[in-house]
Amino acid sequence: MTGKQRNIWSAGLLACALLIGTALWAYDYTRRDLMAERRVAGQAQLALYGELLRGWLGKYRALPSIYAHEPDVVALLDAPEDSRRVEAVNARLERWNATSGASDTYILDAQGKAIAASNWNSGASFLGKSYAFRPYFRQAMQGRLGRTFALGTVSGLRGYYFAYPVQSDGRIRGAVVVKVGVGEIEQELRLDMGAVFVSDRDGVVVLAGPPHWRMKTLQPLSEDARRRVERERLFPIEVLRPLPVQGIERDSGNSVVSAQPDRSEQREADFLHLSAPMKTEDWRVHLLVETRGVAKRSLMAALLASLVILTLLLLGLLLWQRRRRMIGRLTAQEENRRELERLVTERTANLREANENLEQEVRERSQAEVDLRRTQSELIQAGKLAALGQMSAALSHEFNQPLAAIRTYSDNATAFLDRGRGAEATENLARISRLTERMARLSKHLTSFARKPGDTVEPVPLDAVIAETLALLNARIEGAGAYIDNRLPSDIIVMGGQTRLQHVFMNLIGNALDATAQEAQPVIILRADSDGPALSVIVEDNGPGVPPEVQANIFDPFFSTKEPGKGLGLGLSISFNIVRDFDGHLQVENRQEGGARFIVTLILADAGREAAE
């Protein structure tokens, strides 16, 4: 092999090494950058879920201490054999439990025996059962607030237990216990695109968005933990199987794991595992952030970098070849010069030709430099577009998470306002205000709708209310493929409140979308029927209709025909009361051709002003 051939082989190997090294560097850099983005977004999302869990527990934390100071509760523990007092307290516990939304409320004596319970008249009543083995009872008997998450020994349902001591004459007579169900909060955890779950101090998954991850363990339980779980009857040992997540660690919060949170997926996928502690409950909140697309985008970056390096190498090779040709020409010119010394005329012609060739080479080189600048400009523009895509993805992620929290807080606030619990409603509205400040530049419609409605009754244009409602429900309407047949006139003004009236129609149209979900072509009709000073706004659908046995109770609070976790049964009750506040009424009936018909009767603005005068 000649020296020239060795130089060519060396240059080729160096070019290949440069190409491969650049591709690997671009792949690794892009992957680390994308994972850092997901880590930052995941930490913010994890903090949001932590606040959501603390807010959920905070709604019930103070209840047992309030109940423990009730005179009837104290008197019952002083005289537990008084049957009439037991019946009276049972009835009060039942009312308190229904109002608070807790799963169960009961009273334990100093020995841990249940002497009164909200479920006193059910087949699975706690009355007479002993719960002295529960940690929350022992903590309460020590004079402090007891906390325990466990599986109910009677109901078989998971829940978080709060217990507070009841004192009389300076002595602890017993405890009041409030059990909080997990259905509502786990429904919120299921909204995440990845997976959210909560583990206790032993690594047992007590709450989880994916249903098949509940009551699993991050790692095998120690012998001490197993004995404590069996002694305190927290969970059945036989159901505590390992969590189906590859590579997860109990206290680690920054690793990549393999999991299948959605059983509809055919195979496992990689997720970024993040976690944060909840010190008061001795819990740890875990979040699996999707990494789908990271490898593909990293590979595209590597290919793009390789393409840039390859282009530069080709340009260098081209310039090198041209240099060699130029050197050859100069050598030939030198030989010609020696020859032309003998022939002056021929020498002059050869020199002129050489000058022309040099000028042409200069022009070609200038054109090559222009092409190089244009290629560099295109590469810069491609980088700008890639950055814009990343910003758009992050902006969309930051938009969707506050929306889920706003929906939860606004539902809670509405329920609390209906129940007259202003403090809790104010707390939820304050959280909504903080979230909407972040979204003010993105969604003026949602900021207006999240604001606390006024109590005044004034003339309101109906078409503006309907237009705003349909705008807010546009995503659901398009997702359901529903057709909205809006036959309402555009010049009707009724007496009411803009935001509250909008709430009514959002509820009715939203229920109509749910009712027609199984229809091939969902149709929702909006029309009006005037009767003197009143106007009936009619919302009809082509769904299955409302069964006669349901119509009598459909406007009752907490009455719902939806599956558990799909709703609290407060929407129609709240809408009924809102319309009644406007001196109108809300009724339901079935259409002869099939489907349900909700009729909202309101006072026309002209008639309302005449009545006021």
Other CB atoms within 10 A of residue 72 CB: 13
The arrangement of secondary structure in 184-292, i.e. its CATH architecture, is 2-Layer Sandwich (3.30)
Alpha carbon dihedral 256, 261, 262, 263, in 10-degree steps, equals 110
The pLDDT score that the predictor gives to residue 65 is 93
Query: 158 burial class (0-12, 13-18, 19+ CB within 10 angstroms)?
Result: buried
The pLDDT score that the predictor gives to residue 565 is 54
The three-point CA angle 406-204-180 to 5° equals 50
Query: 153 burial class (0-12, 13-18, 19+ CB within 10 angstroms)?
Result: middle
For residue range 362-400, what is the model confidence (pLDDT) as tens digits?
888 888 767 754 653 343 334 333 333 433 433 454 466
Question: Looking at residues 412-417, what average pLDDT do you find?
Answer: 86
Report the alpha-carbon distance of residue 387 to residue 555 in Å, rounded: 51
Scan for tokens 């059945």, then name that residue.
Answer: 236
Report the alpha-carbon distance of residue 112 to residue 115 in Å, rounded: 9
The pLDDT score that the predictor gives to residue 116 is 94
Q: Is the pLDDT of residue 432 over 60?
A: yes
For residue range 473-482, what is the model confidence (pLDDT) as tens digits?
887 888 889 9
| Winning range, highest mean pLDDT, from 126-130, 357-361, 364-368 | 126-130
CATH 3.30.565.10 in the chain, residues?
453-612
Token digits of residue 354: 């050489």
The pLDDT score that the predictor gives to residue 391 is 34
Burial 448-470 (b: 16+ CB within 10 A, else e): ebbeebeeebeebebeebbebbb
CB 516 within 8 A of CB 541: yes
Q: Residue 488 carries which DSSP code?
A: -
DSSP bridge pairs for 111: none
DSSP string, 289-300: EE-TTHHHHHHH
Instruction: Specify the pTM.
Output: 0.50
Amino acid at 105: T
Could you tell me which residues come within 8 angstroms of residue 148 by beta carbon, excluding any fewer than 6 positions away? 134, 135, 136, 139, 160, 161, 163, 232, 234
CB 159 within 8 A of CB 149: yes
Question: Looking at residues 157-179, what average pLDDT do you find?
Answer: 94
Q: 453-612 has which fold? A: Heat Shock Protein 90 (3.30.565)
CB 524 within 8 A of CB 540: yes
Q: What is the 3-state secondary structure (H, E, C) of 145-191?
A: CEEEEEECCCCCCEEEEEEEEEEECCEEEEEEEEEEECHHHHHHHCC
Distances (CA, A) of 581 to 251, 480, 541: 53, 32, 26
The correct CATH number of 63-181 out of 3.30.70.1450, 3.40.50.720, 3.10.20.30, 3.30.450.20 is: 3.30.450.20
Percent of the chain with pLDDT over 70: 87
Place 449 in a pLDDT band, splitting at 50, 70 and 90: very low
The pLDDT score that the predictor gives to residue 393 is 38
Percent of the chain with pLDDT over 90: 33
Report the alpha-carbon distance of residue 291 to residue 289 in Å, rounded: 6
CB 594 within 8 A of CB 540: no
Distance of CA 362 to the CA centre of its chain: 62
The pLDDT score that the predictor gives to residue 400 is 63
Composition of the chain by helix, strand, coil, percent to 5 = 55, 20, 25
Amino acid at 453: P
- Of 56-60, 146-150, 597-601, 603-607, the one with minimum mean pLDDT is 603-607
Token digits of residue 256: 């990549």
For residue range 77-109, what is the model confidence (pLDDT) as tens digits?
988 888 899 999 999 999 999 999 999 999 999
Q: Is the pLDDT of residue 222 over 60?
A: yes
Place 524 in a pLDDT band, splitting at 50, 70 and 90: very high
- First-to-last CA distance in the chain? 111
CATH 3.30.450.20 in the chain, residues?
63-181, 184-292
The pLDDT score that the predictor gives to residue 264 is 74
Distances (CA, A) of 379 to 316, 385, 451: 18, 10, 47
Report the alpha-carbon distance of residue 525 to residue 508 in Å, rounded: 11
The length of the chain, given as a count of residues: 613
